[in-house]
Structure 1
Amino acid sequence: MAGDRILVLGGTGPAGIVLLRELLFRGHATVAYVRSPDKVPADLASNKLLEIIPGQLGDSTPLESAVSQSRMIISLLGPQLNDAPNPSPLPGFYSDVLFPLMKKHRVKRIIATCTVSVVDKDDSFLFGRWLLARGIQLFFRGSWDFDQRVAGVFAQLDLNIGDGGKGKEGEIEWTLVRLCGIPGGASEEEWKADREAGKGVYVGPVVSGKDKWFMTLKRGRLARWLVDVVEEEEKAGRAMESLVGKMPAVSEI
């Protein structure tokens, strides 16, 4: 049986810390599964809504404890451009470790991230995006390989979204968010400022035009959007049909 917490993976990077701030600010009981607990800021670590579980991705016992307490997983796992191993072990972590644990404990919902170097069928050709993706492929091959393999792992999930996004019993309702630049700091002051930045958030294919895809999204604004999704789905009692089984590009408007 699924738990009642939000599990955050990748919670000690800048984007992960900002996500923890947003979740706790809005009163969500949260679990952070982290390799280095000391990297969680003290003001967050002391919050009673947050449980920190230390462990490596391959440590099945503590990871299972984290998954079993959760009703939804948000994963910001991903390599830095300059240190990504090739091949990355993370795609295998999803397919061979995390997804089986989710099915075992009936945790159906996961939102994970990659970059816009992954191309979706509804994307338009934009030279700037192509140039960026090509640069990553040529000069940061490990990161490019990670994104392509992660997209493949999620796309291969046995998911039926034909019944209004609910899926079948035991299936995983996934969303793979494609990001580009996510500037912004992780301090409380920077998060508070960045969460209010911009006119709004674009969610959809990579297309050009007014109020369409842009190349950046402040980390604070990303965190706010992610928790908006959490709360909308919680209120509706189901995953959002427009996001389930999709790979939306998310950016500032």
Structure 2
Amino acid sequence: MRVLVLGGTGPSGVLIIRELLAAEHTVVVYARSPNKLPEDISSDRLVVVIQGTFDEDDDSSLRKAMEGVHAVVSSLGPTTDVKKAPFYPGNTPLATAYARIIHVMHDMDVKRLIALGTASIKDPNDKFNLAFWVLVNGVKTVAYNAYRDVVAIGETIRGDGKDLVWTIVRVPLLTNSEAKDRIAGYVGDGKVTTSLSRAAFAAFVISELEKNEWARKAPLLSAP
């Protein structure tokens, strides 16, 4: 399978790429700063690196990256640096990027999208849970513009991408544990917790890519 990875230079993106390579998939990495990729990834025979942005005037680069791919996997998300939160732009830049991505997917006949989300994106299957209420409202309070962008990402994927086979993988607080154990469910189901390792997120993404168990759904992924 040929997979386009967005957000591949971040910590979760790198783990996703490694999981894809371990499964012998061809990986196209579309990145603003490809030099941030580990050397062993950028030099791998199964990796194609294309530099570009999601700006409107860089449409040709995104289309080049999308050529011949079977699926798009994205770990794009707002910064988690609390110090930068007050300076996050208020024009929902990531949701705008997703609108452009989905438009190109339509044009290039790419149907599968797996995208990173958070519990700020609501789902009809969610129930009230105090821990998640505190978590989401904490983010909304200290990083309102980032919160708005994440919510808008969910709306964009469900709206503009309604005819795609999409999965929004909602995550709680991410850790650097190497554990890959995880459970998928919904907020308030009595199973999911408020933390997850990036390694488990990456492993789930590759599993979902191959099995399509959560098509057009937005599971909440967490550590057991």
* TM-score, scaled to structure 1: 0.81
Q: Which residue of 2 aligns with 1:63?
A: 62
Query: 1:139 aligned to 139, 142, 149, which one?
Result: 142
| 2:180 maps to 1:182 | no
CA 1:64–1:103 in structure 2 vs 1: closer, same or farther (change >3 Å)?
same
2:167 and 2:195 map into 1 onto residues whose CA distance is 19
Q: Which residue of 2 aligns with 1:204?
A: 185
Query: 1:50 aligned to 47, 51, 60, which one?
Result: 47
Q: Give the deviation of 1:33 after TM superposition.
A: 0.2
Alpha-carbon contact 2:172-2:194 (below 8 Å) kept: yes
1:107 and 1:158 map into 2 onto residues whose CA distance is 11
Query: 1:149 aligned to 146, 149, 152, which one?
Result: 152
Tell me the matched-pair count.
217
1:25 and 1:74 map into 2 onto residues whose CA distance is 16
Deviations 1:192-245 (A, max 9, x none): xx1xx26x3211211253xx101111111211111112222xxxxxxx3x4222
Which structure: greater helix fraction?
Answer: 2
Give the partner amino acid of 1:23. Answer: L
Q: Give the deviation of 1:79 after TM superposition.
A: 1.0
DSSP-derived class of the 1:244 partner: coil
2:221 and 2:30 map into 1 onto residues whose CA distance is 25
Give the partner amino acid of 2:164. Answer: I
Deviations 1:51-101 (A, max 9, x none): 110111121111101112311001111111333322221112222x21121
DSSP-derived class of the 2:128 partner: coil
Alpha-carbon contact 1:31-1:53 (below 8 Å) kept: yes
Give the partner amino acid of 2:50. Answer: I
1:57 and 1:221 map into 2 onto residues whose CA distance is 28
Alpha-carbon contact 1:9-1:73 (below 8 Å) kept: yes
Alpha-carbon contact 2:72-2:114 (below 8 Å) kept: yes
Deviations 1:123-143 (A, max 9, x none): 121111101111111111111
Q: Which residue of 2 aligns with 1:8?
A: 5
Q: Which residue of 2 aligns with 1:86?
A: 90
Give the partner amino acid of 1:117. Answer: S
Alpha-carbon contact 1:87-1:145 (below 8 Å) kept: no
RMSD: 1.6
Alpha-carbon contact 1:76-1:113 (below 8 Å) kept: yes
After TM superposition, the runs of 4+ consecutive aligned structure 1 residues lying more than 6 A away are none
The percent identity for this pair of structures is: 31
Query: Which runs of 5 or more residues in structure 2 are unaligned?
Result: none
Q: Which residue of 1 aligns with 2:221?
A: 250
Q: Give the deviation of 1:35 after TM superposition.
A: 0.6
2:150 and 2:104 map into 1 onto residues whose CA distance is 22
Q: Which residue of 2 aligns with 1:217?
A: 196
Alpha-carbon contact 2:116-2:168 (below 8 Å) kept: yes
